[in-house]
Amino acid sequence: MSVEKVGGRRGFESKSNVDKASQYQQTVRKQAEILKTRYPEEVGWIEDVVQAIDFDELRGVFFELTAKSQVAREDVNFIPRENIFIVPPSVITTPGSSSAFKIEENVILMSAQEMLETRKKRGEIQARQIILYELIHEYCHAVGANRAEQGPYKERSDVDLREKNVAYAKVQSLIEKKSGKDQVIDSANSFMLFNEGITDEIAHRVLETYLSRKDFFGITASSLFKKEKEGLFSFSPHMSIHYRTARTFADMLVDRISKISEVPKDVVWNGVIGDYFRGTGLPKELLDEVIGPGFTYNLGEAESAADLKDLAKHFDFSDPRPGTVERLKSYFRSGIRFE
């Protein structure tokens, strides 16, 4: 059966983009080397934790997930180990973040300061757990469908419109071309927090599968998830309340869709995860019909746990039209599903 080309990285393959990514990687590699020279023991501890990860096994877990979404293996963007850099916090532009996937540069960054502060506050065992989880979280972003397009902006001849899709999230930027340099003069994001919630769910699943196959300092997924459920442990200490709420919200949405459509919850979840890797996006019009006008717009605008909690109060699944229910059934039953 022929399958459309989906997933992977689209629009990042031009020579100029590849050259920029290569230059960035060289720069950040030097910064990482300087940091290690200044703090060999501290950076060395983080490197030892990362070194304990079996990246071949981790890649295999992602291959299994993406294959079930019919993403070709050659399109799976599994970041090579040499493109993971332990850097000063200033290199990670998101304030307070301890790790980041840089989509255009195709690297994963880890803040040495944030990781070491976590070790100091929460001990070595929890710090190791968080390092493993945050790496898996960033790998989910990297492996998810990423696409970029750039073209003329109709309002100004000297400005381009750049659109980037990171799985469910979308970033639009106006780029002014001035003196041979691109400068962002305006930007807008949508579905960023919802995308983090889906990423968090996938990361939990990947972590559980990985730890069922490989030893990592004697850590088991069941003990971690039990502590997390009891509020004794958080995988993402810096954004935990927002990411945790986004994951809970996504699960509630999937549960509501499952009940109204009579499609098993795991099948609905598998459709959502499949779209994350395939890049096919949410069925926005269908969800707006079922839940209420403007639902997906407000979901896209949500930036905090409070926004999602407010949105959850406005769910309306009362007396849905029969035709809409059938369309929901058809959409989620016809999608790619994990077996």
**CA–CA–CA angle 92, 96, 308 (5° rounding):** 115
At residue 230 the predicted structure's pLDDT band, cuts being 50, 70 and 90, is low
* Kind of pairing between the strands at 107-111 and 84-87: parallel
Give the integer Cα–Cα distance in Å for 155 and 161: 10
Predicted pLDDT at 261: 86
Q: Give SS3 for 100.
A: strand
Nearest to 206, CA basis, from 53, 52, 37, 33:
53
Q: Which residue has the higher pLDDT, 246 or 228?
A: 246
> pLDDT (tens digit, 9 = 90+) per residue, 164-223?
889 999 998 898 877 667 788 888 999 999 999 999 999 999 999 999 999 999 888 888
- Identify the DSSP state of 303: -
**How many alpha carbons fall within 13 Å on the CB side of residue 333?**
11
Burial class for 297, CB neighbours closer than 10 Å (0-12, 13-18, 19+): exposed
* Distance in angstroms (rounded) separating the CA atoms of residues 189 and 196: 13
Please state, as a whole number, how many other Cβ atoms lie within 10 Å of the Cβ of residue 274: 23
Q: With bands split at pLDDT 50, 70 and 90, how would you rate the model's confidence at 66?
A: very high
Instruction: Please report how the helices 240-261 and 192-213 are oriented relative to each other, as an axis angle in degrees rounded to 10.
Output: 90
The residue with greater pLDDT, 295 or 236, is 295
State mean pLDDT over 56-76. 94
Element counts in the chain: helices (H) and strands (E): 12, 8
State the average pLDDT over residues 27-33: 96
For the entire predicted model, the pTM comes to 0.90
Judge contact between 257 and 269, C-beta under 8 A: no
Q: pLDDT tens across 239-275, in order? A: 578 888 999 999 999 998 888 888 899 999 999 999 9
> Under DSSP, is residue 103 helix (H, G, I), strand (E, B) or coil?
coil
Cα 98 to chain centroid, rounded:
14
pLDDT at 3: 42
Secondary structure (3-state) at 331:
helix
Domain parsing of the chain, residue ranges:
146-190
Place 233 in a pLDDT band, splitting at 50, 70 and 90. low
Q: Which of 94-108, 143-157, 288-302, 313-327 has the lowest mean pLDDT?
A: 313-327
The sign of the torsion formed by the CA atoms of 206, 102, 167, 198 equals positive
